[in-house]
Amino acid sequence: MNSSHILYESPCRSAVPGAIRGREPAPTKGFTRLPGKLLGLVGSLALLAGCSSTGLAPIRTADHVDLPRFMGDWYVIAHIPAFLERDAYNAVESYRLLDDGRIATTFSFNDGSFDGKRKTYHPTGFVVDSESNAVWGMRFIWPIKADYRIVYVDDDYRHTIIGRNKRDYVWVMARSPQIPTQDMAQLTEIITAQGYDTSKLRRVPQHWPLHAVEEGETP
């Protein structure tokens, strides 16, 4: 085996839509050749993508999302985190609607503390349900598209909740880095009603202006 790469077999090959599988030539027997340093990230993203039926009813989503209004910066207020963000500080998700309908996404956070390295990811969002605009696929690495559903957005587009059918991860986001306690309590009630175990919610520390070391730099 090439020492600089690891063969990773997606556990979700059968769950990847055929249209996605056909966009690029696939390696033999469903293997994708990845640099070794990406293996941990891809493993986390495979979990994000999900493979099996949960036996739960589909999560309820917002009736309609005005995509242009939804674009821009969202501060992550609380989450049941995926592995890569389990110790995130100053987490922000930003969206930009492209001409072809895809959504350019930037997710960044300080790792481990306010002074931790600033990590940044650039997944691409794809609207799956064009009637509501509330169901997306979020792709970090081809061909994995993670389940991404806008469960709630308020009338003023100040608060939103992103969930998944598996009820494993959830994100509470807002246009400002802090929200009133009463608002957080109401958002938590919505998450509970959707079938989540809210005892797993982690408040994301937010303190601005941002002062952090970019990933790869020396403090």
What would the pLDDT profile of 103-133 be if each residue is shown by its tens digit? 999 999 999 999 999 999 999 999 999 999 9
What would the pLDDT profile of 13-58 be if each residue is shown by its tens digit? 333 333 322 333 333 333 344 444 443 444 444 444 444 445 788 9
Question: Which CATH fold would you assign to the domain 12-211?
Answer: Lipocalin (2.40.128)
Contact 111, 88 (CB under 8 A): yes
Cα–Cα distance for residue pair 35/198, rounded to 1 Å: 36
pLDDT of residue 214: 53
Per-domain residue ranges of the chain: 12-211
Q: Is the Cα torsion angle 66, 150, 137, 175 positive or negative in sign?
A: positive
Contact 206, 177 (CB under 8 A): yes
Amino acid identity of residue 53, one-letter, is S
Taking Cα atoms as reference points, which of 183, 210, 214, 219 lies closest to residue 91?
210
Contact 9, 27 (CB under 8 A): no
